[in-house]
Chains A and B, each alone.
Chain A
Amino acid sequence: NAGVTQTPKFQVLKTGQSMTLQCAQDMNHNSMYWYRQDPGMGLRLIYYSASEGTTDKGEVPNGYNVSRLNKREFSLRLESAAPSQTSVYFCASRDQQNGYTFGSGTRLTVV
């Protein structure tokens, strides 16, 4: 099925551990995004990639890094996880005509 695939769906990390969230889309979209969603705060943009080979900071980039591996894949890395990074993470991609298509999300808990 066409869409945006995120892995893993759930993850528990200890403070200071690192991990990479994976995202892939098969819709041939140029733009891809990483958001986090916290209660009462809506979706906040972490990083985005307007096209293959480019990445830019969003609203809340501190503590994160990204890689646009190719047109399909856009990964998000936490180098040293902190409890403040406990959140639900969504990857999304966009074509020229429509709004975003979101992945199913990753629920991350940092203890």
Chain B
Amino acid sequence: QKEVEQNSGPLSVPEGAIASLNCTYSDRGSQSFFWYRQYSGKSPELIMSIYSNGDKEDGRFTAQLNKASQYVSLLIRDSQPSDSATYLCAVKASGGYNKLIFGAGTRLAVHP
């Protein structure tokens, strides 16, 4: 079992819709969770971090965390074609020196 799992996609949504990206993790001691966006041929860029159970909103993005279910999600409201990218879920490993474990990413395609 992979430590951080994501559906590889592609997830295809129409412009203006809500895109829902999901991630599960195996390390029960993890306390910090991150979502990165990666455009093709570019480096990952941090878009959201979440540390407590519940929702965290930042503009069109909402991160949701459920530690009991070991589940993290990212909602993108009013999706735009510019949101088309691969979204990487990352989990800070417990007990280590701030190591992040990444999922393989979900490719999102927003079509006009």
Chain A residues packing against B (C-beta within 8 Å): 31, 33, 35, 40-45, 48, 50, 56, 58, 90, 94, 98-105
Chain A residues within 8 Å of B4, by CB = 42
* Complex Cα spacing A38 to B50, Å: 26
Chain B residues within 8 Å of A100, by CB = 44, 46, 90, 100
* Residue B61 interfacial (CB < 8 Å): no
Instruction: Summarize A's interface: helix, strand, loop or mixed.
Output: strand
Chain A residues within 8 Å of B98, by CB = 31, 50, 94
* Residue B34 interfacial (CB < 8 Å): yes
* Complex Cα spacing A31 to B62, Å: 28
Q: Assuming A31-B98, A42-B88, A98-B49, is B103 touching A103 (CB within 8 A)?
A: no
Chain A residues within 8 Å of B100, by CB = 33, 45, 99-100
Within 8 A of A (CB), among B68-93: 88, 90
Q: Measured between C-beta atoms, what is the minimum distance from A51 to chain B in Å?
A: 9
